[in-house]
Each structure stands twice: as structure tokens, then as C-alpha cells.
Structure 1
């Protein structure tokens, strides 16, 4: 028996279209958020990426404040704060400030990027498989990307001064302790984060594999967001580890999973394919270590590099089509992962196409949610 449709939310990277600039990208983010609220999406999350010419979303806390001010009801959050690049106190103070300005609407998504390397590695050597109609490709190795000059430069510019970065569980524990008002310094001194202590934030952990992030989220009884759109080959490992490790907490009695997907919805399948062009070269630029290029126009995409060995898993797991076709694939992803929520991200060259894609999907999803009679 298929599941009843669950809430849909939006993840935005503030992509910079070719021929446009950062100001255009940021204004587009605000417009997309207002459209998401009108369409009935539950959450609007902002990603964090650095040293990418084609992505303007480098400071999620700043953008969250702007988005929350431009909307009135939709929850707004980070997907996710890269905790290894800042201190736990700065994260809590930033998001405590946001909660003070927009109480009860802020999600604090915590990512492991920049933290101490995980204790478990992504599985290797698997063959692609189809589970419940959803492609689970062979896991992609990010080893070359992490060792690229751009990532070394990022580590140099974003690295925290002083002692080695704590492990991820310690970072998450400190963030939660500061919010709850239970944290003590290494000398045993109780500390208060103002703003931040007592803030009405909803903490999440984001993860791409069955490693530290999933395990930490489960053991601490937090909500978990698994990234099918970033690492489709390991999404099932992520949700399985999270559920296996889950322990009830004061905030959450049972596991709660959100799963992300890249989608482009057009008026029909052919239209969607046309406006979706450009994704291959864009992913290629990221995964080869150069950093995201400004998102190409469809007519320019064919002349840009898009090595199948680098981009095939992302292209083959992107949901592109008319509203019915994309909603069917999202429903299948929900069924396969047991997701309690779904998070969609859409990148096209024309901003109007992103807004229309978002609207078309919301209308189809709402139609399926209605109770007959």
C-alpha cells in the first residue's frame, strides 16, 4: 500500500545564472521563498557553499534572516550550517538571534562539513540497483574533490584557529547544551549563550551516508535529513543507520526523516527536459574541483564538459518531467526511504522556470493529499 503524501519543503542554493550576478541570485532566493510560502511548502532551507562562482549561498544565517523577514508563516532554516567551520557558540548566537526576530519559525540544520573526518566510510564497489522504482547508483567517490586545490583553499580560509576541530558528536552536543542552558566549560563553569539559550529552534542533522552524521542524529534523538540529491548511492545507508541508532529524546519519540531530491517540473515531460539542460556541466564543474560555474542557459549546455563518469549518478537520479511524473517519482522515493517529509531543490537557468516548477509540483502534491469525497 502506498503512503499518503507527506509535507514538501524547498532547499535553495541561491544559484547564479549565467549572465547574471550575485544580487540577482539573492533577489531570486527571496522571490522563490515567497512563492514557496504561497504554494504551501512547509519549510524553506538555505544551503551553505563556499568558493563557488555559481552559488551565492555562502552565509545561511544572513539569508535566513532575509527570507524570514520576506515571508510570514513558512519555517526557514539551514540545510546545513557547516559546523566544522565555525564555533558552536557562534552558531547558537546566530540562530538565537534569528529566533528572537522570528520566534518559532527557525530550523537549525547541522552539517558535518569541516569537522574531524568521519569514523566510517562510504561503501565502495557496489553495483547500481533499483529499489521500488528508485535508482540507487553506485556510490560516488568524493576523494578527488576533497583533495582539490579549491577545497584546500577553502580549508585554509575557513579553518578555525587554535586547537583541532572536535569530533562531530561533541560539536552537536555543545550546540544542544548551549540552547538548553546545560553546557559547562572545560573548567566546569556554567555558561549562558545570549541570545541562544532557550531559543525555540528545531534542530536537524543532515547527512549523505551511513556514517557519523546519521549515527549522531539517531543517538541524540534528533530529526535527520538524508541527501538523495547529493549522494544518491548512499541514501538508504543513511536512513538505515539513523533508524538503527535512534534513541528517543525529550524532543522526539520516534525517528523522523526528511529526504532530498533534485527536481525540475515543466508543463510536460518535453518542456521539463528543455529547461533542465545545463545540470550536467554544472555538476561536472563542482565534482572536478573547480567550483560551481554560473548555471548555463539550455542552448549553451551542449558545448560544455559533462563527463558521464563524473555526473551520471546525479543526472540519472534527478526527477525531471511533468507534474504527474515527478510526483510519482517523489512518492516512490518516499515509499522506499520511509520519509516523513521530502525536500526538493530545483535549479534552472531562468528564475521563472524555477518558480513555475515549484508551483506545478505543489499543486499536483496538494491534489494527491486531498481526501476524496
Structure 2
């Protein structure tokens, strides 16, 4: 069974490059992705990271939509804790008004207050060992709670929210966005009508990394769900199972619809792909240690980094689950991911230092994937 492929892009800034160059590369890649036959092109939301230029995905989504003709464009995902429901609805409905029927509004819990983490009361996760389920690696979980005490987290909070502001409950915010878009929103009997907004063709998605609130909210509201294997691979099966268990048919979906992400690098040979992917562990380490991605290094720059055993453990789950190789190698691993998760769609993300190598990776993958049913 072949399912559609879509793309998640961070507009990566490479070492020696500029954010402007990264944004031009994103526009070019989106055009090429449309030629290759990808279904969607999603932009992530990241802030204060020297190596990521997608800090304003709403703006970038509009630019990508303007530069393409057919491919769906959207967010993967809006960090809802930093925005009001009205701001999200207005921004995406404005884009949809110009490019109707092509815009996806992906919502995530990032930025939402997790009291147990910020107050240091979270219990550490159980010491789970890596396991293989029907050919799919589920690595030892990374303990994200260790990042909560970082001063960078407090810096983000101070810059991304007004003083004293508190993020609403995620489920309540999803409901408010949906109500604003379908015209049913009212407070104390007073309606609010979003212009542009009401009766838009926006497709709302929920993105999640575990079997927690995001999966439950998506299922209970009958919305499509994107499960995160490329950042939190240990919990992907838990996430899709929780979503399906909670699913209730809606006006949007009559049955569950799941997209699953994967980090991928494809080249003509396994050896060349491994060379292109060599900087990836260094880049992931910068995210895990400093919460800010560095400009994506060259292979030579990556080779100069000194590694400790602690560093290797820090990035092991991401590195071990990156799909790297020739088209046949990567297609085989992606097919395993699809089969084990039951995914209806796969969302791939590729980062290399060279832009043309990244474009080529997506092209080789699309051709090989489409040949599965040729």
C-alpha cells in the first residue's frame, strides 16, 4: 500500500549561509516539491534559533502558497501557547481567502504551560529500553523535562508572551479556533465573527508527540492527527493508538486519519547518503543542549566536534531513527514505518548542508516511493 508523501520544512540556515538565503531555498524547494508530486508542504515554527529561519511560519506559508499552484501548504505546527485563538484564526483564514482549499492549520501544544515541568515536580520517565516492533525501532525515550529548567525556556516565555499572560487550556483553544472558523463563537451571548475566517476552507490538524492531550483532543474532535516520529520516536505508537482510541466521527472525518513524520536523507548510494547525514548528530546536539539549533554544519565542521558518551546518549534516539540511504534503503524503512503505525500519510523532513542535495533527496525519494505501485 502506497500512501502520500508530504514535507515538513524548517527553512534551515546552513553554516556560511544567511536567513535570507534559507528562505529563498524554501521557496525553491516548495516549487520543486510540487513538481515531484508531494501532497503538502508544511512549515515549522521555531524561535531564536540561529540555524532555523521559519520563525514566522504564517508569513512563510503565504509566500510559499503564492509561489506554487497546487500543493497544500500549512503549519507544522503553530505553537498555540504563544498566540490567541483569534490571532491564529485571522492569520490563517487570511491566507486561505487568497488560496482557498490549499491551506492546513496545524496546531501544537508548544508554548502551553505544563505546570509539572516548569515547577520541577515532573517524575522522570521510566527507564525503558530500546525495542523493535515488527521491524520499527522505538528507542529509549528522551527525558524532555530536563530542558524545562533551562534559562532559555524562561527567555522564550518572556519574549513570546505579554507579561503576566497565561496560555489557555489546549482543548479550549482548539475549540475556540474551530468556533471562530465555523461562525459559532460567542461569549456571554455576544457573537464574534472573524473576517476573513468564517466558512473558510482551512483544514485543522493536531500535531502530537505522545499519547497525551494532543492525541485525545484530535480524536475526540474528529480531526486529522500528525504523530511525531522524527522528534519523539519512542512514543509514536502510543500517540497513534491513543488518537484512534479517542476518535469520534465528525463533519471533518468519518474515520481516523494519521500522518507520521520521519527524518530522511536520500542519495544515489547508501555511502553518499551517510556522508550527507554526517552533520546531523552535531545539529541535534545543539538543540538538546542549548534549545537552539546551530547553523547546519558541513561534514568537515561536524567531524571537528569532540564527542562524549553523554553527548551520544543525548542524541541517540534521533540519530538511530533517521532514515539514511539510497532510495531503495529509505523506501524500505519508510514502508516499515507506514505498516507498523498504519499511517495514512508520511511527512518527511530532510536537512543537508547543500540545498541541491536536499532537493535531490526529495526527488529521489518521490520517484522511488511512487514506483512502489507503478
Give the TM-score normalised by the residue count of structure 2.
Answer: 0.95
Tell me the residue number matched to 2:30: 33
Secondary structure in structure 2 of the residue aligned to 1:288: helix
User: Residue by residue, what CA displacement relative to the aligned partner does 1:8-28 show, whole Å, maximum 9, x if unpaired?
Assistant: 000000000000010011001
Q: Does 1:240 align with 2:237?
A: no
The match for 1:207 is 208
Superposed counterparts of 1:41-120, under 5 Å: 41-117=38-114
Question: Aligned-pair distance for 1:122?
Answer: 9.0
CA deviation vs aligned residue, 1:24-53 (integer Å, no higher than 9, x gap): 110010011011000000000000001111
* 1:1-373 correspondence to structure 2 within 5 Å: 4-117=1-114, 124-161=126-163, 163-185=165-187, 187-305=188-306, 307-370=311-374
Secondary structure of the residue aligned to 2:259 is strand
Counterpart Cα distance in 2 of 1:86 and 1:178: 14
> Displacement, 1:194?
0.8
Q: Which has the higher mean CA deviation after the structures are superposed, 151-160 or 325-334?
A: 151-160
Give the deviation of 1:149 after TM superposition: 1.6
- In structure 1, runs of 5+ residues without a counterpart are none
Whether the 8 Å contact between 1:128 and 1:135 is mirrored in structure 2 is yes
Distance 2:296 2:237 in 1: 29
Structure 2 unaligned residues grouped into runs of 5+: 117-121
Q: Could you tell me the TM-score, scaled by structure 1's length?
A: 0.96
Q: Deviations over 1:46-96 (max 9, x none)?
A: 000011111001111100000001100000000000011010000000001
Deviation at 1:163, TM superposition (A): 4.9
Per the alignment, do residues 222 and 305 of structure 1 end up closer, same or farther by CA in structure 2, a change over 3 Å counting?
farther
SS in structure 1 at match of 2:191: coil
1:310 Cα offset (Å): 0.6
Equivalent-residue separation in structure 1 for 2:172 and 2:165 (angstroms): 14
SS of alignment partner, residue 190 of structure 2: coil
Structure 1, residues 85-135: CA drift from partner, whole Å, max 9, x if none?
A: 010000000001000111110000001111132899895321110012110
Contact map agreement 1:51 1:291 (CA 8 A) in 2: yes
Would you identify which runs of 4 or more consecutive aligned residues in structure 1 move more than 6 Å?
Answer: 118-122
Q: Secondary structure of 2:157's match?
A: helix
Alpha-carbon distance change, 30 to 333 in structure 1, aligned in 2, over 3 angstroms: same
The CA distance in 2 between the partners of 1:194 and 1:91, in whole Å, is: 12
Q: CA RMSD in A?
A: 1.5
Q: Secondary structure, in 3 states, of the residue corresponding to 1:57?
A: coil
Distance 2:194 2:126 in 1: 42
Contact residue 79 and residue 108 of structure 2 kept, 8 A: yes
* Equivalences, count: 366
**More displaced, 193-202 or 8-17?**
193-202
